[in-house]
Structure 1
């Protein structure tokens, strides 16, 4: 699993303010001696363009836009390639679909893109939400101002394995993958590494509403047992990670573990914010193996509460619905 980054796709959503993103992508590619492709992904002309142009004019406009964009990108790539070899591609259409098709057809193992929301750090654009949901490889949506910050990588892992048996192995592997990628990013970014897991017994909202009665002593014993169970699993994962990264750069990283009791949709974000997270690494599926449950629940609500980069992963064997 070491050095698992070998074919990177860097996506530009604009022709302005993207040089720092490409620079970071080149640094990462150089670190791993990975192939790097820079894609300029543009939306197609609006539907009403056909209403105000003859069909042949419309098609010529699309072709002209594509050629002009390719010329611009090739000129930029000539400069970038003086530092590191860069391939280029221009697409015009539905951007997130074009990106996913290119990932699938060219076996990219990492997509790097800048957050399109320039007003704040929240991830709000349609494309920036669609990609973590549906792209088959990890997606790293970066913030424009990350270079000025002390780096804090936060890995949100779910080590609750009390699920149907067919899901447990997938969940265990995904938890380790999140941990490994978070370590990899922390080593790459010279960052501190935090691990957060949120646990609870009976959900607080059920207790508050008085729907069930709970013996306080028994409930506390259950919570203590759950916390111990989750701590032991995190310790096991860290032991496996230590063997995986032994003698690698960054192997001296000492992750800080945050075992938090509460509601995951709230406490993951609270913990990430308290750590000053610059990148949050998490899975972007809720129920594994259940069709349609993509980017559900916890991941969706967490992103609405944090202003940091997102590094989203899928479980092994995930097939994009695109």
Structure 2
């Protein structure tokens, strides 16, 4: 079942204060009885390092760095093994590419990592976004200090199916998958599950620019119709989720619905923040049929406004554009 993990990869991009992300990975793996691999992925020396270093010095420096990293990993693994069986590996090169190689070659079904914190004013760095865009399995990105037990889990759904016919079934399936993953996390953390959908009738920037005239009464009628349409679709999704879960799971979770009228690129994050979300589960890929499956504008803008963990989900049929040997 989607949302139940069997082969988890925890990625460490450095050796500094990694205890909480490893603890979170062990927590998730233990709950799912999944295999867990902890990979230390370090940037190798740049190709032009030989310009300022003699060849033998560069080789010696690389060997020394690699040896120190592997020694650190071996030492740490002894304490991790006391909590849960783990496999530890070290990889050197470009961390993003090494992560992608590991995921693709060993068919991991979840990646857990800390967000990059070295980029000023951005909670998610370039490698985080690359993984959310291109990694074939779900990616769970947490911030330092954010891996405590979660109180509020948000499933962000796009219930708008006014798209070409061939996209509708994929979008419905993605919404169901988001619900599955969010429900699993809420059960794991004994937390409240919130379902958020933001809808609008006329794009706000058009109204703001006075490009068209909209009758207020007609707009309110349209909004009521949209709310009813999305509420019925959410009923259908929850019924499908309930049918595949153990009896009483949804009664236990008691998911709270938040159908919000507003501009999605702003209100998804604002609603999640107002709910004190600890983690937001969301789709991170744009419309199907786009080569490379680039991240959608709404998803990317939302991610940059959030100050909580993210679990990024891809649609069924997603194929990563990354090619590995």
- What is the TM-score of this pair, normalised by structure 1? 0.94
- Structure 2 CA distance for aligned equivalents of residues 251 and 112 of structure 1: 29
Q: Where does residue 194 of structure 2 map in the other structure?
A: 194
Q: Where does residue 62 of structure 2 map in the other structure?
A: 62
CA contact 2:242–2:249 (8 Å) conserved in 1: no
Q: Where does residue 112 of structure 2 map in the other structure?
A: 112
Q: Where does residue 88 of structure 1 map in the other structure?
A: 88
| TM-superposed deviation, 1:292 | 4.6
Structure 1 portions without partners, runs of 5+: none
Partner deviation per Cα, 1:184-228 (whole Å, 9 max, x = no partner) = 111111111110001111112212222222233222222111111
| TM-superposed deviation, 1:102 | 0.5
| TM-superposed deviation, 1:122 | 5.0
| TM-superposed deviation, 1:80 | 1.1
Q: Where does residue 303 of structure 2 map in the other structure?
A: 303
Structure 1 residue 317 and structure 2 residue 325: aligned? no
Structure 1 segment 207-286 matched on structure 2, within 5 A = 207-247=207-247, 252-286=252-286
Q: 1:120 to 1:234 in 2, by over 3 A?
A: farther
- What is the TM-score of this pair, normalised by structure 2? 0.93
| TM-superposed deviation, 1:128 | 1.4
Structure 2 portions without partners, runs of 5+: none
Q: Where does residue 13 of structure 1 map in the other structure?
A: 13
Q: Count matched residues.
A: 322
3-state DSSP class of the match of 1:241? helix
- Structure 2 CA distance for aligned equivalents of residues 78 and 36 of structure 1: 14
Which sits farther off after the overlay, 299-308 or 119-128? 119-128
Partner deviation per Cα, 1:237-256 (whole Å, 9 max, x = no partner) = 11111122224877610111
3-state DSSP class of the match of 2:17? coil
RMSD between superposed Cα atoms in Å: 2.0
Which sits farther off after the overlay, 139-148 or 272-281? 139-148
Partner deviation per Cα, 1:103-134 (whole Å, 9 max, x = no partner) = 00001000000122279995232111211111
CA contact 1:12–1:41 (8 Å) conserved in 2: yes
Q: Where does residue 73 of structure 1 map in the other structure?
A: 73
Q: 1:117 to 1:3 in 2, by over 3 A?
A: closer
